[in-house]
């Protein structure tokens, strides 16, 4: 009799976009998987379950299941026992565009709720000018930081004994 179920759990599972499932039996860098699948990124998939209790005295609970996907850097390791998904570069760029659009939309809503678009515009220009003024000082301090330390030793005279 064997313990084959334990060996199945100790794998890195990679789900391909076309439905194929790949299993690796050792930790692998994400860069290696990306090299073998050009045009794809590796993402860690985690299943999250959120339970919401009803406001009344009843026992009814509703659970919401959703997956959380986090893109991995090429230097990250794919760990045994985790599930990863290959995502095409087009999907990644589309998601990034959507995220930027949502952030801009939220900022626009916040600026209009504060008191108008003109005040937000003047705030942005003031921040940009302040950033420009701070940059030259940072360059001067970084130049000073690259200076090497040179010891100043006093000479010791050697006497005849």
Q: Looking at the domain assignment, is residue 144 inside a domain? A: no
Q: Taking Cα atoms as reference points, which of 24, 57, 58 lies closest to residue 42? A: 24
Per-residue pLDDT of the chain (161 residues; tens, 9 = 90+): 555 555 556 888 999 988 899 998 888 899 999 999 999 999 988 877 777 665 555 555 667 666 778 889 999 999 888 889 999 989 888 988 998 999 999 999 888 887 655 555 555 665 655 555 544 555 555 555 567 777 777 777 787 65
Q: Looking at the domain assignment, is residue 143 inside a domain? A: no
Q: Looking at the domain assignment, is residue 128 inside a domain? A: no
Q: How many whole angstroms separate alpha carbon 67 and alpha carbon 36?
A: 25
Sign of CA dihedral 84, 38, 90, 74: positive
Q: Report yes or no: 86 and 42 within 8 Å, Cβ to Cβ.
A: yes
Q: Looking at the domain assignment, is residue 100 inside a domain? A: yes
Task: Report the CATH number at residue 100.
Answer: 3.10.20
Other Cβ atoms within 10 Å of 102 Cβ, number: 10
Q: Looking at the domain assignment, is residue 124 inside a domain? A: no
Specify the number of domains making up the chain. Answer: 1
Q: Looking at the domain assignment, is residue 145 inside a domain? A: no
Q: Looking at the domain assignment, is residue 150 inside a domain? A: no
Task: Tell me which residue range forms the domain holding 94.
Answer: 7-52+62-112
Q: Looking at the domain assignment, is residue 154 inside a domain? A: no
């Amino acid at each position: 009799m064997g313990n084959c179920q334990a060996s199945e759990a100790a794998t890195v599972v990679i789900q391909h976009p076309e439905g194929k499932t790949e299993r690796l039996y050792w930790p692998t860098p994400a860069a290696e998987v990306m090299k073998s699948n050009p045009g794809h990124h590796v993402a860690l998939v985690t299943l999250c379950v959120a339970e919401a209790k009803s406001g009344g005295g009843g026992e009814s609970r509703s659970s919401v299941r959703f997956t959380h996907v986090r893109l991995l850097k090429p230097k990250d390791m794919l760990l045994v026992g985790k599930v990863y998904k290959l995502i095409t570069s087009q999907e990644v760029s589309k998601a990034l565009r959507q995220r930027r659009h949502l952030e801009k939309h939220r900022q626009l809503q916040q600026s209009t709720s504060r008191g108008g678009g003109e005040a937000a515009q003047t705030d942005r220009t003031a921040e940009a000018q302040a950033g420009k003024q701070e940059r030259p000082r940072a360059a001067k301090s970084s130049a000073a930081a690259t200076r090497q330390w040179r010891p100043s030793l006093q000479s010791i005279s050697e006497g005849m004994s």
